[in-house]
Chain A
Amino acid sequence: MTMTDRSKTEEAMLDGLFEAERRTAPLPSGDWLARMEAMALEQQPAPRPAPAPMPRLRGGGWREALRAFGGWPALAGLAAACAAGVWIGVASPQTMTTLLSADSGNTLSALDPASGFDYAMLGL
């Protein structure tokens, strides 16, 4: 047998030994595995609590505010009142000036909270 042949047979023998050894991997006993399982559970961190549901951000706050106002009808009334206030503020004061002018007695009496009729009724 040549050196090369001898080397090949030795390689083949070693490969055969490796293969046989891989097939018969040393396995731990069931008792040891049971102990390892108990140890793993003992060392395990406590389960994390389930994450609390996130508050619904989109629209949630607005809905609450709307409910506090009394719903859509109340909001519509509020909007109308706001619009009226803006109109009163923005509109020209000419009309009010005319109404309240001193040379317009009828109008002034109309605006007097205690009219002549009322005074007559009271005997004044």
Chain B
Amino acid sequence: MPYDAMSTESDESLLAAYAAGDQAAARALVQRLGPRAFGHAVRMLGGDRAEAEDVAQEALLRLWRAAPGWREGEAKVSTWLYRVVSNLCIDRIRKRRGGTVDLDEIAEPADPGPGAEASLQGRARSGALQEALDALPERQRQAVVLRHLEGLSNPEIAGIMDLGVRAVESLTARGRKALEGLLAGRRAELGYDDD
């Protein structure tokens, strides 16, 4: 099947085709899931692109190995992948921090897109948000990133984090409040007027 024709296929169908040896399905899945896994890892890891590449690679490798035994209808591929990426990131954060927050180890914020063309203010805002996210407890950060940056629904996040929907709502609400507090003092610096 040509690559373009697979754009409307579900992740689960593509994974079944991958397990059956369809090379076009392999390429389609990499193009679809690779950026998602990488982007989530970057945000969870404080903008460290190199480490995010390692994490996303490990998550994808696990997916390819799980593909032959994947039972359609059992789990959503995207949910499974977000969960693996999140857990790998949390493991790395814990190892890196050794249980304490070390601001010196927080990586420089990610380049927010079109590189040199991005405005300084855009970079400053993106960096400030990333720093504030890094200061949140892991689970709050995970919930906030999934909800407000990846755009997932609360039930989807509940599936990824193995929590109830109410617990997710509580985590994201507390995360938001904490972020607002962390960023409140940087309004002027980030170009937000007080009027």
B19, B21, B52 — most chain A CB neighbours (10 Å)? B21
Once the chains bind, are B180 and A46 in contact (CB under 8 Å)? no
Q: Which residue of A lies closest to B129 (CB)?
A: A17
Once the chains bind, are B18 and A26 in contact (CB under 8 Å)? no
Q: How many residues of B contact A (CB 8 A)?
A: 51
Q: Which listed residue (A24, A28, A37, A46) contacts B126, Cβ 8 A?
A: A24
Once the chains bind, are B39 and A25 in contact (CB under 8 Å)? yes
Once the chains bind, are A40 and B29 in contact (CB under 8 Å)? yes
Considering the chains assembled together, what is the distance between the CA atoms of A28 and B68 in angstroms? 27
Nearest CB of B to A97, in Å: 78
Binds B, one of A5-13, A76-84, A111-119: A5-13
Interface size class of A (residues with CB under 8 A): 20 to 34
> 0/1 per residue, A1-25, Cβ < 8 Å to B?
1000001011101101110111111
The 4 A-B residue pairs with the shortest CB-CB distance, nearest first, are: A47-B21, A24-B113, A43-B64, A24-B112
> Assuming A9-B192, A21-B126, what are 6 further A-B pairs, CB within 8 angstroms?
A26-B110, A32-B53, A33-B34, A37-B27, A41-B23, A43-B65
B interface residue numbers (CB < 8 A to A): 18-23, 26-27, 29-31, 34-35, 38-39, 42-43, 47, 49, 52-53, 56-57, 60-61, 64-65, 67-68, 110-113, 118, 122, 125-126, 128-129, 148-149, 151, 176, 179-180, 183-184, 187, 190, 192, 194
